[in-house]
Amino acid sequence: MRVCAVIPCFQEELRSSALEVLTKATIVASSSGGRVEAWLVGPTAEKHSSKAAQYGAATLRVMELEVDSEAKGVNVSLGRRIVDAVDELMTQSTAELATEGAPQPPSLLLFDNTELTKDVLGACGARLDVPVIADVVDLSWDGHQCIAQRPTYASKVMSKVHAEGSVILCSIRAGLFEPDEKPVKATTHRYKSPQTDLLGQVLKELVAPEGDTVDLTEAPIIIGVGRGIADETGKDLVAKLATLIRGEIAISRAHFESGMYSHTLLVGQSGKVVAPRLYLALGISGSIQHVAGMSESHTIIAINKDPEAPIFDLADLGIVGDLYQILPALIHALESTQA
Amino acid sequence: MFNIHDPYLFEDELAEDDRMIMEAAREYCQANLEPRALRGNQDEIFDPEIPKEMADMGLLGASIAEEYGGGGASQTAYGLIAREVERVDSGYRSFMSVQSSLVMVPIEKFGTEEQKKQYLPKLASAEMIGCFGLTEPDHGSDPSSMVTRAVPTDGGWVLNGAKTWITNSPIADVAIVWAKVKEEEEDVIRGFIVETSWKGVSTPHIKDKMSLRASETGELVFQDVFVPETHMFPDIRGLKGPFTCLNSARYGIAWGTVGAAEFCYERSRTYVGERKQFGHPLAANQLPQTKLANMLTDITTMQLLAWRLGQLRDAGKVDPAMISLAKRHNVGKALDIARVARDMHGGNGVTGDYRVIHHVINLESVNTYEGTYDIHGLILGREITGIQAFVPKG
Amino acid sequence: MQHARVLNSGKIQNEWTSIWHIQTEAFFLYSDMSQDRTILVCAKETPDTYSDLSFSGGSVQFSNPRPVLNAYDASALEEALVLSEAHGFRVHVVMIGPEKASETLRKALAMGADEATLLTDAPKDADSAVIAKILAAFVEQFGPDAVIMGRQSQDTDVGLAGGMLADHLQWPWTTNAIGIRFEQEAFWVKRQGDSAQEWIDSPMPCLITCSNNLNDPRIPTLKGIMASKKKPMHIVAIDSLPGGDALSTLAPSTTIESLTPMPERAAGELVEGDLETLVEALMKGLGSIPETGVGS
Ligand SMILES: Cc1cc2nc3c(=O)[nH]c(=O)nc-3n(C[C@H](O)[C@H](O)[C@H](O)COP(=O)(O)OP(=O)(O)OC[C@H]3O[C@@H](n4cnc5c(N)ncnc54)[C@H](O)[C@@H]3O)c2cc1C
Ligand SMILES: Cc1cc2nc3c(=O)[nH]c(=O)nc-3n(C[C@H](O)[C@H](O)[C@H](O)COP(=O)(O)OP(=O)(O)OC[C@H]3O[C@@H](n4cnc5c(N)ncnc54)[C@H](O)[C@@H]3O)c2cc1C
């Protein structure tokens, strides 16, 4: 039995979501009596393999992948390469394990829940023809059956999903627990990447707006900016505040529309799901689609001029008032304590 | 499961077309009208974009024939649209009703082929806005004693007189005007299509309305206005003309007020659920609960009346008294519900933000126009007893 | 085996049904597909998950009893319509669902799609894998130039069907589109990634999944609704698709065992008052979180 953390490696640093997946893999493996593998796929795969061993993977399967050079380190395109890679790793590793005398070991493949995973998870499932459970917050596995908890109905309901088979794929929601270091001695297997037919697809252009380098899912302090911040004056106030409290900026869909911020910063049902130490919601009403992306935050503080705003139903601290009065005063107070 | 918005599930009984039209209208009204409602009322703004938007959605002349640019939808669909528009503001519904029922309906029913071709498509697309002039300063509930008069002249008529309380008149391009004409020594009411740009027509705005503030209201003043023969309705004579239009509009009101009442009920339900006093939500007290129970019971009767009336109109089996019954009942109940909702909101009930007082004050107009509550009572009374009581016989 | 039939009345149906009677072996035929290139939009009906939710006996109920068109699919359809207006694609919508889902599918026709197919009698509790296999069979038969669909469904938020379908078809795919252009006979898709966006160029045929941030889907107009009655809607039993017998008995690979309410966060303190009070409360709140550096 093996629990395999599938880790796409396209960046200089490993995402903390990848480490969380490794940690989850070790937990599941120890309760099911399986081994932990890390499947590192991508241009920076080799580089990250030692880190995977530090987080409990005793078997490292490394596949260097070529991608469009400009895509390196920022993002990834053309998920077909990853699907082919996962398929190939599955075939090869199964063959190796069979020669070692253990045919077809039951395998649980764990992914993080980034856009990159969302791009490829379905296709991987179809390619391997195995069950897939996406966006899981908790799971148990006994080598055959997998029982997973996943939020559904815009995160208002928890659904318990059951799947069985010798291979099962799951993606794990980020930010729910701390990655836990657990160094092991690892053996490394290296694989040649398969020839992927891109079927004529080409990456034309990478648009990386300013501020797009942060990974919101890793930020401890997030300032969520909603329609209540309506202009450049407000944006400047938010930027000042962010520096003072070491926060990263996220947005509601209102600012997807306003164009004042990068689209990457969207939090919610159709954006990122985050669970920071602090989510400071500024002028966000608290629509269920937004809340779906931040309700797991450890602490929520909300500022809104409407005392009935639904965001106050889940805020640990709610401040009723006009942001354009509160923010300057707050910034002033912060500056004077820090001076 | 008990549906607290539609307890007797009348929406399930609707034809698929009608339900789809209802949902589309609801989506439009909530997305585009609701955000304008508060400011529209406070600042007396009827956003000039609204007619065009409604036209693009197909909400003007919904049940007028498609060949004249109408929607070809059922009477029920027209009513369901009124309900959605009035859920936001009776003023917006007034605009829609006047354009559709009081202007497009008479042109379609009584107009010549040329009149229909000339005006209906433009009214449906909101290239033209229409109004309906029946009421006069001294003749409201009793229009038969009107004094506006047309006298024959070369190639047409000369119109003199004044109409008041005319919804849309300050923004109208065309007015349906009812005036007296001498025919064989008798005064007969005839209908005319008058363009407001013609010489001698003026449309002063009525200022300082405290109700339906987002709807334009004005006068229609005619000073020796020449109306070409081609602009008279050829055959319709007497009060049957205006009353046909009013029946259509009153039917729309029977539906519209369902929307206003539902809004007030829904706001109250949410408010008492959230507002805490004496350590508990207001909703945990018996009085608010029974108030909500009364509201929902009344709303259910209103829904069922309006829905059945729609069926009867679609089946061509409607008698005007049926419409009087529903108009009177539904406006009266909506007004009661809005007043109770206002009360349940405490101090917040008088602010614009919650918009319940907005409905209270709007519904005061709706209670009066298109035949007052009491006048419809007298219409029913006459049907029931066979004795007319409009003219006192004391 | 149930035969395909057309719901809508009028001329098209008559022509269509007569063709049908002659060629009962073809699983169905479409009116005028001769020249136009076609975008196929896959759409799903979901409960109105944004209305109030309540639990009764382990199942979830919504205050709006009527299902809706999945918001993400509505964005896909909107984009297909925009592309069709600019480049003359025919837009066909396919939905897997019970017969009564025809009302939701009609909404797609009312928005402006040209034609629709409802695939009925899906296996019980079909999951994404089953749905993708059925759609693959349909797409292979139908042969559109592109498939555009929502990136996830608003009720389950699973988001697997698009990738699965693409892999079955062996078509290039792009997920999470926030912009689509059609240029030089190819689809240019702006994909929102974890960070940054990519413009990806795919030749036809290809598959695109859409973010709801791509556009605001149009509201059907009254004229659109009335016109939708005259547009063809084909109702096809899944077992009459090629390979249909196997499709209609597919077992889901994942099953939902239970649904439970998510534990709700309790509302905390609500502070109202003068500016000083508010700022003081905020300073205290921020100070209690070490990572802000405010307390130290
Ligand atoms: C399928 C679907 C998916 C969606 N996905 C997402 C998603 O992923 N993420 C997302 O965010 N949304 C999403 N939405 C949109 C969502 O429904 C809301 O429209 C959106 O979240 C609203 O953003 P907001 O709270 O900033 O704006 P609003 O709801 O307009 O709220 C603005 C708030 O600011 C307050 N305010 C205004 N001015 C001030 C001031 N001066 N001082 C203090 N407070 C002020 C107001 O009181 C109000 O509460 C989705 C919608 C759909 C249909
Ligand atoms: C906002 C608004 C918009 C309007 N828009 C239009 C329009 O577009 N076109 C148009 O032609 N008109 C319009 N009207 C006019 C409306 O139809 C009249 O106001 C209505 O018919 C009542 O007439 P009145 O105001 O002259 O009141 P009156 O007829 O003077 O009635 C005053 C009171 O006396 C009662 N009453 C009257 N007669 C009797 C009786 N016999 N027995 C017992 N009680 C009686 C009434 O019920 C009422 O309570 C509008 C009115 C308002 C307020």
Q: What is the structure's pLDDT at C22?
A: 31
Q: Does C262 contact chain A (CB < 8 Å)?
A: yes
User: Hey, what are A114's tokens?
Assistant: 């980034």
| Catalytic residue status for B16 | no
C-alpha B219 to ligand 2 mean position (Å):
14
C residues 88-127 closer than 8 Å to A (CB): none
Out of A66-75, A199-208, B24-33, B359-368, pick the least confident: A66-75
CA distance C255 to C258: 9
Ligand lying nearest the CA atom of residue B139: 2
CA distance B45 to B215: 8
Taking 80 as the threshold, does the pLDDT of residue C34 lie above it?
Answer: no
Q: How many CA atoms lie within 13 A of B190 on its CB side?
A: 24
**What integer pLDDT is reported at residue B219 of this predicted model?**
98
- Predicted confidence band at A60 (pLDDT cuts at 50, 70, 90)? very high
Q: Show Cβ contacts of residue B9 under 8 Å, excluding neighbours closer than 6 positions.
A: B3
Of residues C147 and C34, more confidently modeled: C147
pLDDT digits (tens, 9 = 90+) for C81-93: 999 999 999 999 9
CB A106 within 8 A of CB A167: yes
> Which pLDDT belongs to residue A101?
65
SS3 C29: coil
Buried b (16+ CB within 10 A) or exposed e, B15-33: eebbbbbbbbbbbbbeebb
The residue to which tokens 């309380």 are assigned? B165
With CA atoms as reference, the chain A residue closest to C51 would be A288
Tokens of C68: 């809706």
Region B364-375: mean pLDDT is 97
Structure-token pair, residue B34: 């609701």
* pLDDT number for residue A211: 57
| Orientation angle between helical segments B16-28 and C102-111, nearest 10 degrees | 60
The chain C residue lying nearest B27, using CA atoms, is C219
Region B301-315 average pLDDT: 98
What is the whole-number distance in angstroms between the Cα of residue A296 and the centre of ligand 1? Answer: 18
- The pLDDT > 90 percentage for chain A reads 76
Return the pLDDT at A257. Answer: 84
- A132:C264 CB<8 A: no
pLDDT given for residue C124 in this prediction: 92
Enumerate neighbours of A (3 or more CB pairs within 8 A): C
Q: What is residue A251's predicted lDDT score, i.e. its pLDDT?
A: 96
- DSSP sequence for B153-187: ETTEEEEEEEEEEEETGGG-SEEEEEEEEEETTEE
Contact residues, chain C, for B19 at CB < 8 Å: 66, 103
What mean pLDDT value characterizes chain C?
89
Average pLDDT, integer, range B30-57: 96
Residue C187 pLDDT class (50, 70, 90 cuts): very high
Report whether C46 contacts C68 (CB < 8 A): yes
- Cβ A91 vs Cβ A104: under 8 Å: no
pLDDT of residue C8: 43
The domain locations on chain A are: 2-203, 216-338
Decide whether any atom of ligand 2 lies within 6 Å of the B101 Cβ.
Answer: no
What separation in Å is there between the alpha carbon of B193 and the centre of ligand 2?
23
Residues with CB under 6 A from ligand 1: A 226-228, 252-254, 266-271, 283-285, 287, 289-290, 293, 303-306, 309, 322-324; C 71, 154, 212
* Nearest chain C residue (CA) to A125: C164
CATH of domain A216-338: 3.40.50.1220
Helix pair angle (B75-88, B16-28), 10° resolution: 20
Most confident of A218-222, A308-312, B89-93: B89-93
CA of B292 to the centre of ligand 2 (A): 31
Q: Is B56 close to C225, i.e. CB distance below 8 A?
A: no
H helical segments located in chain B: 10-13, 16-28, 34-42, 50-57, 75-88, 90-97, 105-110, 113-124, 240-274, 286-314, 320-344, 356-368, 373-385
SS3 A249: strand
The pLDDT tens digits for B230-243 are: 999 999 999 999 99
pLDDT at A77: 65
Residue B105 exposure: Cα atoms within 13 Å on the Cβ side: 25
Q: Could A318 and C159 be called an inter-chain contact, meaning their C-beta atoms sit closer than 8 Å? A: no
**Integer Cα distance of A57 and C233 in angstroms:** 54
Please compute the mean of the pLDDT values over residues B102-123 and round it to a whole number: 98
pLDDT of residue A39: 98
pLDDT for the residue C3: 39
Task: Judge whether C189 is closer than 8 Å to chain A, CB to CB.
Answer: no
As a whole-number percent, the residues of chain C with pLDDT over 90 amount to 79
In degrees and rounded to multiples of 5, residue A172 shows phi and psi of -110, 130
Alpha carbons B141 and B155: distance in angstroms, whole number: 33
Q: Contact at 8 Å (CB) between C145 and C38?
A: yes
pLDDT at C159 over 70: yes
Mean pLDDT of chain B: 97
pLDDT at residue A72 in the model = 52
Strands B174-183 and B186-195: antiparallel
Question: How far B313 CA lies from chain C's nearest CA (Å)?
Answer: 19
**B206 CB within 6 A, ligand 2:** no
**A246:C292 CB<8 A:** yes
Within 114-173 of C, beta carbons closer than 8 Å to B belong to none
Q: Which residues of C touch B121 (CB under 8 A)?
A: none
Nearest atom in ligand 2 to the alpha carbon of residue B98 is 8
**For A268-305, how does the pLDDT look when each residue is reduced to its tens digit (9 = 90+)?**
998 999 999 999 999 999 999 999 999 999 999 999 99
By most ligand atoms within 8 Å of CB, the mutation choice from A225, A269, A301, A320 for ligand 1 is A269
- Would the pLDDT of C29 be above 70? no
Out of A92-96, A204-208, B80-84, B146-150, least confident range: A204-208
In this predicted structure, the answer to whether residue A153 has a pLDDT above a threshold of 50 is yes
Q: Which residue has the higher pLDDT, C259 or A78?
A: C259
Q: Is the pLDDT of residue B254 over 80?
A: yes
Q: Quote the pLDDT of residue C148.
A: 98
Which domains does chain C possess? 2-247 (3.40.50.620)
Banded model confidence at residue A103, pLDDT cuts 50, 70, 90: low
B374 lines ligand 2 (CB under 6 A): yes
* Ligand 1 centroid distance, CA of A310 (Å): 10
Residues of A in contact with C159 (CB under 8 A): 118, 122, 134-135
C219 to B57: CB separation less than 8 angstroms, yes or no? yes
Closest ligand 2 atom number to CA of residue B365: 53
ipTM surpasses 0.90: yes
What is the pTM for the complete model shown? Answer: 0.92
Longest Cα separation, chain A: 71
- B375 CA → ligand 2 middle, Å: 9
Min Cα separation B76/chain C (Å):
13
Q: Is the confidence at residue B162, as pLDDT, over 50?
A: yes
**pLDDT at position A216:** 86
The alpha carbon of residue C275 is apart from the nearest alpha carbon of chain A, in Å, by 7
Residue A13: per-residue pLDDT: 86
State the DSSP code for B103: I
The pLDDT value recorded for residue C10 is 34
For the CA of B370, the nearest atom of ligand 2: 17
Q: Check if B126 contacts C (Cβ < 8 Å).
A: no
Query: What tens digit of pLDDT does each residue of A156-192 get?
Result: 999 999 999 999 999 999 888 789 999 999 999 999 9
Residue C129's nearest CA partner among A144, A132, A166, B105 is: A132
Domains of chain B: 10-129 (1.10.540.10), 131-231 (2.40.110.10), 240-385 (1.20.140.10)
Assess whether pLDDT exceeds 50 at residue C1: no
Q: Give yes or no for residue B365 CB within 6 A of ligand 2.
A: yes
pLDDT exceeds cutoff 70 at C25: no
The pair of three-digit structure tokens given for residue A166, joined into one six-digit string = 């010798």
Residue B98 tokens, joined: 């006047």
- On chain C, the residues whose CB falls within 8 A of the CB of B71 are 222-223, 226
Question: What span, in angstroms and rounded, lies between the C-alpha atoms of B61 and B81?
Answer: 11
Which of C262, C274, C288 is most worth mutating to test chain A (most A CB atoms within 10 A of its CB)?
A: C262
pLDDT at B263 over 70: yes
Of A205, A214, A245, the CB nearest to C294: A245
Summarize the confidence of residues A15-34 as an average pLDDT. Answer: 93
pLDDT in tens, A246-274: 999 999 999 988 889 988 899 999 899 99
Q: What is the mean pLDDT of residues A224-233?
A: 96
Contact A37, A49 (CB under 8 A): no
Beta carbons of A156 and C129 less than 8 Å apart: no
Q: Hey, which residues does C201 pair with through a beta bridge?
A: A202, C188
- The CA distance from A30 to A24, in Å, is 10
Assigned token pair, B161: 């007189």
pLDDT of residue B1: 80
Taking 60 as the threshold, does the pLDDT of residue C141 lie above it? yes
Structure tokens at C175: 């997920």
**pLDDT above 60: residue B31:** yes
Catalytic residue among B113, B195, B370, B383: B370
**DSSP SS3 for C283:** helix
Please tell me the predicted confidence (pLDDT) of residue A66: 77
Q: Which helix (H) or strand (E) holds A128?
A: helix A115-128
Whether A2-203 shares its CATH topology with A216-338 is answered: yes
Q: What does the radius of gyration of chain C's CA atoms come to, in whole angstroms?
A: 23
| Contact yes or no for B20 and C56 at CB 8 A | no
Sequence letter at residue B137: P
Give the integer Cα–Cα distance in Å for B214 and B203: 17
Contact (Cβ atoms closer than 8 angstroms) between residue A140 and residue A28: yes
Distance CA A231, CA A73 (A): 32
Residues 66-105 of B with CB under 8 A from C: 66, 71-73, 77
**Distance, CA of A152 to CA of A136 (rounded, Å):** 10
- What local confidence, expressed as pLDDT, does residue B344 receive? 98
The position carrying tokens 């049904």 is C17
Partner residue facing C110 (CB), from B20, B28, B62: B20
In chain A, which residue's Cα lies nearest the Cα of C262? A157
Q: Which two tokens mark C22? A: 């002659």
B75: which residues sit within 8 A by CB, 6+ positions away?
B63, B251, B310, B313, B314
The residue written with tokens 């001329």 in the block is: C11
pLDDT value, residue C155: 94
The verdict on B28 touching C (C-beta cutoff 8 Å) is yes
Question: Tokens 């005028």 belong to which residue?
Answer: C32
Chain C residue numbers touching A258 (CB-CB < 8 A): none
Provide CATH code, domain A2-203: 3.40.50.620
